[in-house]
């Protein structure tokens, strides 16, 4: 029963007895000639459309590629000039920095010498403290001398008044004869 299948178990649409094997044929013999002409015209029309799109696009691409090459070339040239300029400026900067370093060394030595001199002045000021005491004593002495001179002036004024009254009359007689 396995060799013969029942008609209920067959798949629909596939009848093994009705399948025929294809016979070899030449495709060009069966294709009509007007279809080939039509295909040829459609291909030519499509090719013309593509020519209208592709050739100008190719030309624009070539122009843009040339312009891009020019931009890259000019950028490379500008970068070359920039590197040369930066290199020369960095060389000058390095020499100037060396001069600044030398000047800073000289400034450091000058500050050290000033420090030594200021320390020496501080020691000299400490030496001057006894002199300051002497100057204070001189100041007090000058004040007492000023006071004494003030007293002498007052005494001289009183002597002048007393002498002027005693000799004023004879002097006025002699003043009449004096031409001055």
- H or E element at residue 101: helix 33-177
Is pLDDT of 164 > 80? Answer: no
Q: Measured between alpha carbons, how far is 82 from 75 in angstroms, rounded to an integer?
A: 10
In angstroms, what is the C-alpha Rg of the chain? 66
User: Residue 2: its pLDDT value, please?
Assistant: 47
Instruction: Give the model confidence (pLDDT) of 79-100 as tens digits.
Output: 999 999 999 999 999 989 999 9
Structural domain spans, the chain: 33-129
Q: Measured between alpha carbons, how far is 88 from 20 in angstroms, rounded to an integer?
A: 92
Q: Measured between alpha carbons, how far is 6 from 13 in angstroms, rounded to an integer?
A: 15
The mean pLDDT of 6-16, rounded to a whole number, is 51
User: Residue 44: its pLDDT value, please?
Assistant: 87
How many degrees, rounded to 5, is the angle at CA 169 between CA 165 and CA 172? 115
């Amino acid at each position: 029963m396995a060799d013969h299948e029942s008609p209920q178990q067959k798949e629909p649409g596939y009848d093994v007895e009705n399948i025929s094997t294809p016979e070899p044929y030449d495709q060009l013999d069966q294709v009509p000639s007007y279809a080939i002409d039509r295909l040829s015209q459609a291909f030519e029309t499509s090719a013309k459309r593509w020519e209208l799109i592709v050739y100008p696009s190719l030309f624009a691409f070539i122009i843009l590629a040339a312009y891009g090459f020019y931009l890259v070339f000019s950028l490379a040239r500008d970068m070359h000039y920039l590197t040369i300029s930066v290199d020369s400026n960095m060389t000058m900067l390095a020499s100037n920095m060396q001069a600044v370093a030398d000047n800073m060394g000289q400034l450091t030595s000058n500050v050290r010498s000033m420090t030594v001199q200021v320390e020496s002045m501080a020691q000299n000021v400490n030496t001057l403290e006894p002199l300051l005491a002497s100057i204070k004593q001189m100041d007090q002495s000058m004040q007492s001398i000023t006071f004494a001179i003030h007293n002498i002036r007052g005494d001289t004024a009183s002597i002048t008044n007393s002498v002027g009254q005693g000799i004023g009359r004879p002097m006025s007689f002699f003043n009449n004869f004096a031409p001055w």
